[in-house]
Amino acid sequence: MTTLHDKFGRRIEYVRLSVTDQCDLRCVYCMPMGFHDFEEPEHWLSFEEIERVMRAFGALGVHRLRVTGGEPLVRRNLPELVSRLSGLPGIDDISLSTNATRLRKHAHELREAGVARINVSLDSLRPEVFKAITHGKLEKVLDGLMAAKEVGFAPIKINMVVMKGVNEGEVEDMVRFCLEHGFTLRFIETMPMGDTGRDAVDHYVDLRDVRARLESRFELLPGVMPGGGPARYMKVAGTDLNIGFITPISQHFCETCNRVRLSVDGTIYTCLGQEHNLPLRPLLRAGCRDEELTRAILEAIDLKPERHEFREKPEKILRFMSMTGG
Ligand code: SAM
Ligand code: SF4
């Protein structure tokens, strides 16, 4: 079996594929209000181009793919893209990150097309707090989540960005909600991505404190979840609930990083917190041969830096999360 390694010996087996930089929500830590500076659709990779790039990644040993954005469900005909990708040699795991606003409509098709697992962003269970964070309607998201449950995605993971003075007080409620519905729960620290992310860092919460707080209310045992992501898991004793802590700031996990990102305009970003990137679109549009595409991917992997510097240089990343593919 072919495997892909970077110059620090990390195996790269996972691509996060952004299919749009647009979104129907405006989360405070992610996308600025009034932000309309989207890439023109002609700069977006077409489904054919995405398929070609992912075929090349698959041949190099990447086997996991997460479809993300922006909000991936705002890209037209997304289930068609997923079914094309799920047929590619080597790709054996396709997952989706979504805000769930459009999931009621698309859950079934996506499941049929080959999405096995989904992650849903849900920062609050209180309609007014949810609205203040995302400018969207909680009710729609909860309905989308229930649709996901009905069609049988497994696992369904809830991602909650914990913010001081905003939703920090809801962590226990979210634990109960996930217990009730059989979801996995992951807490995330705010990252200084773009101006929005930097402003949100004023609300930064060290998840070690959240964990300590939960430990005083629930018995937490060491847990594991398949998936190879950065979360450190704990299991609530006597239940099936796994709680993950994603701590890019307080305890970075760069030494086990196994991924790169492909943005909607066809650029490979090798680290969320660094600029090292390689644009594939010019090559693709110039009619490159398959060998040239493969060489470019290998060059990109070689650029992958050892670690991010969110803590040391929070001013560094001008891209919003939705541009790189969160
Ligand atoms: N729209 C989809 C969603 O919200 O799940 C997928 C894309 S979104 C950019 C992916 C994840 O990035 C979400 O869980 C979101 O909470 C997270 N995110 C965005 N900006 C962030 C920031 N500055 N710090 C931490 N997490 C962030
Ligand atoms: Fe949209 Fe997801 Fe960013 Fe929120 S986090 S604005 S839902 S892309």
**DSSP output for 211-254:** HHHHHTTS-EEE---TT--SPEEEEETTSS-EEEEE-TTTS--G
| DSSP run (H or E) holding 207 | helix 207-215
Strand partners of residue 161: 188
Cut 0.75: pTM above it: yes
pLDDT of residue 252: 82
Ligand 1 touching residue 270 (CB < 6 A)? no
The class that CATH gives domain 14-324 is alpha beta
Summarize pLDDT for 137-196 with one digit per residue, the tens: 999 999 999 999 999 999 999 999 999 999 999 999 999 999 999 999 999 999 888 778
Q: What is the pLDDT of residue 223?
A: 85
Write the pLDDT tens digit of every residue in 81-138: 999 999 999 999 999 999 999 999 999 999 999 999 999 999 999 999 999 999 999 9
The domain locations on the chain are 14-324
Q: What percent of the chain clears pLDDT 90, i.e. is strictly above it?
A: 77
Q: Which residue has the higher pLDDT, 325 or 182?
A: 182
Residue environment code for 226-261, b if the CB has 16+ CB neighbours within 10 A, otherwise e = ebebbbbbbbbeeeebbbbbbbbbeebebeebbbbb
Pocket lining: 161 vs ligand 1, CB cutoff 6 Å: yes
Question: Which atom, in ligand 2's list, is nearest to the CA of 97?
Answer: 2
Q: Is the CB of 72 under 6 A from ligand 2?
A: no
Q: In this structure, which amino acid lies at residue 210?
A: V
Share of the chain above pLDDT 70, in %: 94
CA geometry: angle 140, 142, 144, nearest 5 deg: 70
Amino acid 318: pLDDT: 63
Ligand 1 atom nearest residue 325's Cα? 9
Best mutation site among 21, 23, 188, 191 for ligand 2, i.e. most ligand atoms within 8 A of its Cβ?
23
Q: How many residues does the chain have?
A: 326
Tokens in use for 6?
Answer: 């970077």
229-260, pLDDT tens digit by residue?
Answer: 789 999 999 999 999 999 888 888 889 899 99
Question: How buried is 89 (Cβ within 10 angstroms: 0-12 exposed, 13-18 middle, 19+ buried)?
Answer: exposed
